Amino acid sequence: MNSINRRSVLLAGLGVAGAGALAACSSGSGATPALVSPSGPAVAAAENKRKGTGRTRQVPLTAAAATLDLGGGVTARSWAFSGRTPGEEIRLSAGDTLSAELSNRLPDKTPTSIHWHGIALRNDMDGVPPVTQRAVRAGADYTYRFVTDAPGTYFFHPHVGVQLDRGLYAPLIVEDPDEPLSYDDEWVVVLDDWVDGVTGTPDEVLAELRHGMGGMDMDGMGDMSTKFMLMGAESELLGGDAGDVKYPYHLVNGRVSADPAVYRGKPGRRVRLRVVNAGGDTAYRVALGGHKLTITHTDGFPVRHEQVDALLIGMGERYDVLVTLDDGVFPLVALAEGKDATGMALVRTGSGGAPGTTVRPAELNGRILTASQLRAADEVRLPSRKVDRVHRVELTGGMGKYNWAINGEAFDMTDPAAHPLTVEEGQRVRLDFVNTTEMWHPMHLHGHTYQLGGHGPRKDTSIVLPKKKLSVVFDADNPGQWMLHCHNAYHAEAGMMTLVAYRS
For Cu ion, the binding residues (CB under 5 A) are: 441, 486, 488, 491
Give the nearest distance from C-beta 202 to Cu ion in angstroms. 15
Pair 136, 102: CB distance under 8 Å: yes
Q: Give the strand order in the sheet containing 262-264.
A: 262-264, 341-348, 329-336, 284-288, 311-313
- How far is the CA of 360 from the CAs of 37, 72, 363, 450, in angstroms? 50, 20, 8, 34
Q: Which of 233, 235, 238 is nearest to 371 (CA)?
A: 238
Give the nearest distance from C-beta 484 to Cu ion in angstroms. 12
Closer CB to Cu ion, 110 or 488, in the complex: 488
Closer CB to Cu ion, 92 or 463, in the complex: 463
Return phi, psi of residue 492, to 5°: -60, -45
Half-sphere exposure of 112 (CA within 13 A, CB side): 35
Give the nearest distance from C-beta 278 to Cu ion in angstroms. 16
Closer CB to Cu ion, 157 or 274, in the complex: 157
Can you tell me the distance from the alpha carbon of 39 to that of 130, in angstroms, rounded to the nearest whole number? 13
Pair 409, 419: CB distance under 8 Å: yes
Pair 92, 174: CB distance under 8 Å: yes
Give the nearest distance from C-beta 240 to Cu ion in angstroms. 13
Closer CB to Cu ion, 156 or 490, in the complex: 490
Give the nearest distance from C-beta 497 to Cu ion in angstroms. 10
Closer CB to Cu ion, 94 or 238, in the complex: 238
Closer CB to Cu ion, 122 or 441, in the complex: 441
Closer CB to Cu ion, 294 or 488, in the complex: 488
Pair 116, 144: CB distance under 8 Å: yes
Closer CB to Cu ion, 481 or 488, in the complex: 488
Closer CB to Cu ion, 190 or 486, in the complex: 486
Q: Which of 212, 218, 251, 246 is nearest to 232 (CA)?
A: 246
Closer CB to Cu ion, 15 or 495, in the complex: 495
Give the nearest distance from C-beta 437 to Cu ion in angstroms. 8
Diameter of the chain measured on Cα atoms: 70
Closer CB to Cu ion, 70 or 486, in the complex: 486
Q: Which of 83, 85, 230 is nearest to 167 (CA)?
A: 85
Cis peptide bond upstream of 331, omega within 30: no
What amino acid occupies position 143?
A: T
Among the residues of 75-220, which ranges form H helices?
202-210
Can you tell me the distance from the alpha carbon of 155 to that of 316, in angstroms, rounded to the nearest whole number? 8
Q: What is the DSSP string of 262-309?
A: EEE--TT-EEEEEEEE--SS--EEEEETT--EEEEEETTEEEEEEEES
- How far is the CA of 325 from the CAs of 347, 349, 409, in angstroms? 9, 8, 49
Cis peptide bond upstream of 130, omega within 30: yes
Among the residues of 92-186, which ranges form H helices?
none
